[in-house]
Amino acid sequence: MKTLKVKNRKGFDIISLDNILYCNSERNYTILNLIDNRIIKILYPITKIEENLRDENFIRIHKQYVANNKHIVGFNKKTCCITLINDIEIPVSVRKKSQIDAMIKVTSILDYLSKKTKVQNL
């Protein structure tokens, strides 16, 4: 299990990457939004967080947002928003729209193929 170590007032929090739904920026701070509805505000710009999470199933979807691919359950082309588990919607920038659409198609195909393989192996 991969983790992210973030500084807090008392020391550090160790957060499992799987527990992060998405991150959003607020000036020089990044807000980590977790599955259990906790919010952790850290004094790191989102660009630094993105660099640390780039190879860990996270994708930059907007100037202010980085999302965990594992928790994306849909993409609405009309509103240009992704839907995460817990029915959370996050905007996708127009520049990232085609990349997100392609990623979701590939993920859907891979999910379908893995399920088909599991059924055949039974």
Task: Return the minimum-mean-pLDDT range out of 28-32, 59-63, 97-101.
Answer: 97-101
What is the reported pTM? 0.82
Q: Which is nearest to 77 in space by CA: 47, 39, 113, 104?
A: 104
Strands 88-91 and 81-84, bridge-based pairing: antiparallel
Q: What pLDDT is stored for residue 20 in this prediction?
A: 97
Q: For 55-80, how does the pLDDT look when each residue is reduced to its tens digit (9 = 90+)?
A: 888 999 999 999 999 999 888 889 99
- Kindly list the structural domains of the chain, giving each domain's residue range(s) and its CATH number in brackets, ordered by start: 3-121 (2.40.50.1020)
Per the CB < 8 A criterion, the answer to whether 42 and 32 are in contact is: yes
- The reported pLDDT for the residue numbered 121 is 45
CB 84 within 8 A of CB 71: yes
Distance CA 57, CA 53 (A): 7
Q: Is 78 helix (H, G, I), strand (E, B) or coil?
A: coil
SS3 36: coil
